[in-house]
């Protein structure tokens, strides 16, 4: 199968490369993108000589690569990702970009009836309704890479009748043992120390604020098409139970495995057509090696946005995601405190009118405006403090 990998230099991207190296007979990497880590390009060209379409975010090294590898098409800048998608021939897009930038490639791939192995959950948070339309009207498909959704996908493959609830597990992130009041002075270095997973910086902060789980509830809604009330979240310390499905007869089914993203990535690349194991049990007490706790919504206030987003739909996800991206970026740059992330998001949501129907162009305008609004309030607050 011919693949296109976006975000090849990131955490998911590199783990995808590991899998491709071990499955050379099955996959050809026809093209890929990196962000600013352009030194990684030469290594990937050596590993995958079939790759003839390569994107880099900045223009700096573009000339050098173009001269060094005249038989390869290089792209950069704002329009570059789109050009890469339009010029390369591929069967499956592996979208391992982080943030809003991942939405457009997902839409283009689905418009062209391609398969999408999707790590970029922001695609569904921002453009879930556009994606549903494309899935319903075309032949494109999505295979989830997120570990929770991969687990649910597996459980539903075994049994998708009489589902009572989809239950996503959450580690609680870096500050799970701290109370809300103890979060006043935590730093970005503290927040980047995730207890069970090693991931890119943005999602690691999203885990600490629980925005990641909020996004994953939305992701589950669009991937599996169960209403909000049928999607639950439970805290689970070890990150071994990757999520579960509870059936109407009271039984649960779960995927239980050590935390390693290679597994869900591989499952998505193989379109779910490789052996897997799920376990059925009658109560959580049977899993006595593992620890579970009820999620306290007042401890993780950002979780409330999942219900709101799925009630309003329209532009809610775009506003929420843009405010979150700006706030997380500002926190990582020590411009705001950890607790300010939530304040920025709530301020922006409260001061933005949510539109009911949005197309991709409108989404881009709203994303831009929301970023400006969030940046403005961050500047203002930092002047005041
Ligand atoms: P990362 O930061 O490690 O990598 C992101 C990649 O996107 C990098 O290659 C970066 O260069 C590229 N990128 C970022 N902005 C770009 C831009 N404007 N233009 C072009 N390229 C750009 O992130 P990650 O942890 O690999 O996460 C990727 C996605 O997968 C996210 O949506 C995340 O929520 C999701 N995800 C990650 C994990 C994990 O274990 N890392 C698990 C589940 C889901
Ligand atoms: Mg996840």
Burial degree of 313 (CB within 10 A; 0-12, 13-18, 19+): middle
Q: In the prediction, which pLDDT does 73 show?
A: 98
Cα–Cα distance between 122 and 126 in angstroms, integer?
A: 6
Q: In the prediction, which pLDDT does 330 show?
A: 97
Interior CA angle at 16 toward 144 and 84, to 5°? Answer: 85
Read off the pLDDT of each residue in 335-341 and give the average, rounded to a whole number: 96
Which of 4, 5, 8, 10 most suits a substitution to test ligand 1, by most atoms within 8 Å of the C-beta? 10
Residues with CB under 6 A from ligand 1: 7, 9-13, 33-35, 57, 96-99, 101, 119-122, 146, 197, 199-200, 202-203, 261
Provide the angle, in degrees to the nearest 10, between the axes of the packed helices 11-22 and 262-269: 60
Ligand showing the shortest atom-to-Cα distance for residue 118: 1
Give distance in angstroms: CA of 324 to centre of ligand 1: 15
For the cut 90, the answer to whether the pLDDT of residue 193 exceeds it is no
Strand partners, 294: 234
For the cut 90, the answer to whether the pLDDT of residue 58 exceeds it is no
Which of 12, 94, 208, 368 most suits a substitution to test ligand 1, by most atoms within 8 Å of the C-beta? 12
For residue 382, name the pLDDT band (cuts at 50, 70, 90). Answer: confident
Give distance in angstroms: CA of 160 to centre of ligand 2: 21
Q: In the prediction, which pLDDT does 60 show?
A: 86
Q: Report which ligand 1 atom has the smallest distance to the Cα of 201.
A: 2
Q: Residue 241 phi/psi, 5° resolution?
A: -85, 110
- Residues of the chain with pLDDT > 90: what percent? 94
Q: Tell me the longest C-alpha to C-alpha distance in the chain.
A: 64
For residue 313, name the pLDDT band (cuts at 50, 70, 90). Answer: very high
For the cut 90, the answer to whether the pLDDT of residue 384 exceeds it is no
Give distance in angstroms: CA of 216 to centre of ligand 2: 7
Ligand showing the shortest atom-to-Cα distance for residue 36: 1
Give distance in angstroms: CA of 8 to centre of ligand 1: 9
Read off the pLDDT of each residue in 106-133 and give the average, rounded to a whole number: 98
Ligand showing the shortest atom-to-Cα distance for residue 196: 1
pLDDT tens track for 134-147: 999 999 999 999 99
Q: In the prediction, which pLDDT does 197 show?
A: 82
Give distance in angstroms: CA of 382 to centre of ligand 2: 32
For residue 54, name the pLDDT band (cuts at 50, 70, 90). Answer: very high
Closest CA to 216 of 294, 285, 275, 128: 128
Give distance in angstroms: CA of 20 to centre of ligand 1: 18
For residue 116, name the pLDDT band (cuts at 50, 70, 90). Answer: very high
Mean pLDDT rounded to a whole number for the chain = 96
For the cut 80, the answer to whether the pLDDT of residue 12 exceeds it is yes
Q: What is the residue with the minimal CA distance to atom 36 of ligand 1?
A: 119
């Amino acid at each position: 199968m011919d693949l296109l990998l976006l975000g090849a230099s990131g955490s998911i991207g590199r783990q995808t490369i590991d899998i491709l190296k071990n499955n050379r007979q099955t996959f050809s990497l026809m093209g890929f993108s990196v962000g600013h880590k352009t030194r990684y390009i030469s290594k990937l060209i050596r590993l995958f000589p079939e790759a003839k379409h390569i994107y880099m975010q900045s223009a700096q090294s573009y000339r050098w690569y173009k001269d060094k590898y005249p038989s390869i098409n290089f792209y950069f800048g704002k329009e570059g990702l789109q050009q890469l998608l339009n010029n390369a021939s591929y069967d499956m897009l592996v979208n391992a970009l982080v943030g809003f930038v991942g939405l457009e490639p997902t839409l283009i791939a689905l418009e062209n009836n391609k398969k999408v192995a999707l790590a970029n959950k922001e695609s569904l948070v921002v453009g879930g309704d556009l994606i549903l339309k494309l899935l319903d009207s075309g032949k494109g498909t999505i295979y989830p890479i997120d570990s929770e959704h991969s687990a649910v996908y597996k459980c539903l493959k075994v049994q998708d009748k009489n589902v009572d609830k989809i239950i996503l597990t959450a580690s609680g992130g870096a500050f799970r043992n701290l109370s809300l009041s103890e979060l006043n002075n935590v730093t970005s270095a503290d927040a980047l120390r995730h207890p069970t997973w090693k991931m890119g910086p943005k999602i690691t902060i999203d885990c600490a604020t629980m925005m990641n789980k909020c996004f994953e509830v939305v992701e589950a809604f669009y991937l599996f098409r169960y209403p909000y009330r049928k999607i639950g979240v439970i805290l689970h310390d070890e990150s071994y139970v990757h999520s579960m499905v509870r059936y109407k007869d009271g039984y649960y089914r779960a995927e239980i495995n050590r935390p390693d993203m290679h597994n869900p990535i591989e499952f998505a690349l193989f379109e779910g057509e490789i052996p897997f194991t799920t376990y059925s049990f009658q109560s959580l007490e049977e899993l006595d090696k593992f620890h579970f706790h009820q999620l306290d919504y007042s401890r993780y206030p950002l979780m409330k946005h999942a219900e709101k987003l799925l009630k309003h739909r329209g532009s809610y996800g775009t506003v929420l995601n843009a405010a979150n991206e700006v706030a997380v970026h500002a926190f990582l740059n020590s411009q705001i405190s950890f607790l300010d992330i939530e304040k920025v998001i709530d301020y922006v949501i409260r001061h933005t009118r949510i539109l009911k129907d949005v197309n991709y162009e409108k989404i881009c305008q709203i994303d831009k405006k929301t970023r400006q609004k969030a940046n403005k309030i961050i500047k203002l607050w930092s002047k005041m403090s």
